[in-house]
Amino acid sequence: MKKFISFLLALVIVISQGNFIFANTKEAKLDIASKSAVLMDASTGKVLYEKNPHEKLPPASVTKIMTLLLICEALEDGKIKEEDDVQISENAASMGGSQIFLEPGEIQKVDTLVKSIAVASANDACVAMAEYVGGSMEEFVELMNKRAKELGMNDTNFVNTNGLPVDNHYTSAYDIALMSKELLSHKKISKYLTTWMDDVVVGKKQAKIGISNTNKLVKHYSGATGVKTGFTQQAKYCLSASALRNNTHLIAVTLCAETSPIRFKDATNLLNYGFANYESVKICGAKDKVATVKFEKGEKENVDLVAKDDLSVLIKKGDKKDFQKKVEIIQDLKLPIKKNTELGVVKVYRGKELVGETKIINNEDINKASYLQMLRRIVDNLL
């Protein structure tokens, strides 16, 4: 394949004329009682409102967002499966606080444990899954901190998997929004985060117990998609709440509220403000074709490349839309290439400002052409 395959495809899309305006967090006049808060667009990561966004605070059970994220990634990578059996250790069963009363030695499915973490904030289920995915709770905590660094969570240090009180365990509203954004990108987690009430069967006597979601917005806020609550005497009342309306997906984080009603009120006010003033414009969807590349030595000469994820940009309501889309392909691609390999990036600009991007992948294997195929092409070209 010649080097000219490695090029910059400049595909300028003018949706309409006008200016792109990002949020000015200082413009928002909101009465937020929580000590720290952030409103973030889940598609672009743009912050629409902030109050002490980088103050390091104990997150209580909001910690479990990272635990759930690592579980989701293990599921999608095929390292574990929802139907896997997990044996409960004495350590997991000994966890206090919110729990589903697991017993040492009993067997539970991954599906049941993940549901119990997401819905009931079960500390015992959390430790059981951490041990299953990481081999030990200590190893899993190392994975949590490593993933936090990869996400740019610079205000964070995890010491445990569930947020029970312990020294040197902290994060910030901004970092919680970042990991919430990443968790919500995993579509399979939605069925757990949006479950209001359910039953689980636990213990060696197989007792059925009811569980209900600690995030009351799941039932009481239109379009709610998650995410997680938290409470300890030290952390007070914490919440990461998300909601989707039309194409706009927002995340509201509130930390250190004096009461539970205050955290839900603050999150509701933040989400209402966001939906009233902003909208997301979809540039392309996951698996949408964004480019065609010619592989002269490929089994298939012309291969369509697609967006890995949905790509949207955020604007103020009423503003006109004027975006440029550019597709960049990695240079000197070597065959064969497995399906779903990242081969480039599609970027959206407003003038010279980058306002959104997503990876480009191939939705089929790209194999080398056989000698016979190459000979036929040479003959066809000569003819």
Share of the chain above pLDDT 90, in %: 76
Question: Which residue in 61, 98, 116, 172 is the catalytic one?
Answer: 61
- Both tokens of 212, joined, read 């209900």
Q: What's the mean per-residue pLDDT of the chain? A: 90
Catalytic residue at 321?
no
Average pLDDT over residues 208-220: 96
Question: Which residue in 89, 98, 116, 121 is the catalytic one?
Answer: 121
Average pLDDT over residues 85-94: 96
Tally Cβ neighbours within 10 Å of residue 89: 18
Tens of pLDDT, residues 220-250: 999 999 999 999 999 999 999 999 999 999 9
Catalytic residue at 121?
yes
CB 69 within 8 Å of CB 145 = no
- Which domains occur in the chain, in start order? 3-19+283-382 (2.60.410.10), 36-257 (3.40.710.10)
Question: Which residue in 51, 64, 181, 308 is the catalytic one?
Answer: 64
- pLDDT number for residue 28: 63
Confidence band of 66 (pLDDT split at 50, 70, 90): very high
- pLDDT number for residue 26: 45
Tens of pLDDT, residues 281-340: 989 998 999 999 988 888 888 999 999 988 999 999 988 778 898 999 998 888 999 999
Share of the chain above pLDDT 70, in %: 93
Residue 81 has pLDDT above 90, yes or no: yes
- pLDDT number for residue 200: 95
- pLDDT number for residue 110: 98
- Both tokens of 347, joined, read 């970027």
Confidence band of 14 (pLDDT split at 50, 70, 90): very low
Residue 252 has pLDDT above 80, yes or no: yes
- pLDDT number for residue 12: 37
- 211 class by beta-carbon count within 10 Å (0-12 exposed, 13-18 middle, 19+ buried): buried
- pLDDT number for residue 19: 33
